[in-house]
Amino acid sequence: MRQVILDTETTGLEWEEGHRIIEIGCLEIIGRRVTEKRFHTFLNPNRDIDQGALEVHGITTENLADKPVFLEIVEELINFIQGSELIIHNAQFDLGFLDYELSLVNFPITRIQDICQILDTLQLARQLHPGQRNSLDALCKRYGVDNSHRVQHGAMLDAEILADVFLFMTGGQSELQFGNMQTDKKITETSVSIDNSHVNDYSKLLVIKPVEEEIVLHEKWLTLLETGKSLKE
């Protein structure tokens, strides 16, 4: 299946408060190879950018004054991602903003989930590395991905980094090709056997399971813990 890595930058953290997308970056993966096909645009949000968001990505309203609005690029964006498996780090964040933008322009498609399969690399990382920080920076460090050039966030830059991280997470060995530049990277897996014969039998202990509300709150807390200021770091 064709896969598309997607990332966004926004004016703030909550689309429910009227915040908007200001940058979208997408790149294509086919057969575990990054192709040269990309979609990248900056957007004029027609509103101010929160100071906290500005500190994360460094994009100012002045930078965006001559950029297109979402309505002008929506068809091209949909054509690029439609039918693909969309790979996003903390998908809930980006999908919430994208669906909000679609609602503002009365586009026939109202939910990205209706035209794409979604793979959330934050959720995948939590399954692979429970109890650890799983921000994009933390995953880069864990898998040996060079992100030294990531001084500030950027949708296209973060999509490129996420592509590298994703291929490591899902294959153990990745061979990325960006244009004419090719890099081979390997991860060595070590099997560890553990002797549990001395472990006591705890099968009769009472297990108290969290209620749904507690699970939701815990997920939000984990996201904040993992990502710091930006909910999609």
Just list the catalytic residues: 153
Please tell me what DSSP assigns to residue 69.
P
- Cα 207 from Cα 95, distance rounded (Å): 35
Indicate the SS3 state at residue 222.
helix
For residue 117, which phi and psi values (nearest 5 degrees)? -80, 145
- Note the maximum CA span of the chain: 68
Angle at 222 between CA 141 and CA 218, to 5 degrees: 160
Cα–Cα nearest to 229, from 90, 59, 57, 52: 52
Cα–Cα nearest to 6, from 19, 20, 18, 24? 24
The upper half-sphere exposure of residue 231, i.e. CA atoms within 13 Å in the direction of its Cβ, equals 17
